[in-house]
């Protein structure tokens, strides 16, 4: 008969998983809401619908006040939230493991964090 592993409330992995689920749910709902609002704004504008549509606003131009339509700004913000979700999860893991002094898990999270930063920097 297999034994079940019971995790205590102090287990950093259990706390991390619960927190990650909440963060993922909130960020995903906000991102989806922004993308739907952008789509509605796009269809309600006088712009003719075409496929493929306009490209996403580049990250370098994202914070600049430009002439981008509101619909494109909303959809780009939603896409950006979805793109940053893995980075948020790794930062959350680093925070949780360092506060619980789980050094091996923190080191693994730090390596993943550095790889994510490097991949974003190099565009890979």
Q: What is the tens place of the pLDDT at every residue in 19-57?
A: 888 888 999 999 999 999 988 988 887 667 666 667 777
Do residues 59 and 80 touch, judged by C-beta distance below 8 A? yes
Rounded to whole angstroms, the Cα distance separating 90 from 112 reads: 7
Q: Give me the pLDDT at residue 78, please.
A: 92
The per-residue pLDDT for range 88-102, each reduced to its tens digit, is: 888 888 888 888 787
Task: Compute the Cα dihedral for 25, 28, 30, 32 and give only its sign.
Answer: negative
Average pLDDT, the chain: 79
Is 6's pLDDT higher than 60?
Answer: no
Is 73's pLDDT higher than 60?
Answer: yes
Is 18's pLDDT higher than 70?
Answer: yes
Helix intervals (H) in the chain: 12-44, 59-62, 70-99, 103-122
Rounded to whole angstroms, the Cα distance separating 10 from 79 reads: 35
Rounded to whole angstroms, the Cα distance separating 41 from 31 reads: 15
Report residue 5's pLDDT band, with 50, 70 and 90 as the boundaries: very low
């Amino acid at each position: 008969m297999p034994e079940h592993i019971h995790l205590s409330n102090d287990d950093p992995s259990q706390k991390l998983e619960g927190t990650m689920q909440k963060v993922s749910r909130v960020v995903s709902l906000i991102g989806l809401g922004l993308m739907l609002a952008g789509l509605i704004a796009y269809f309600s504008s006088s712009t003719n619908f075409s496929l493929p549509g306009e490209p996403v606003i580049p990250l370098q131009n994202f914070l600049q006040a430009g002439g981008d339509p509101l619909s494109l700004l909303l959809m780009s913000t939603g896409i950006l939230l979805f793109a940053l979700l893995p980075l948020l999860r790794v930062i959350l893991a680093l925070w949780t493991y360092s506060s619980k002094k789980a050094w091996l898990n923190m080191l693994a999270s730090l390596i993943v964090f550095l790889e994510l930063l490097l991949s974003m920097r190099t565009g890979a």
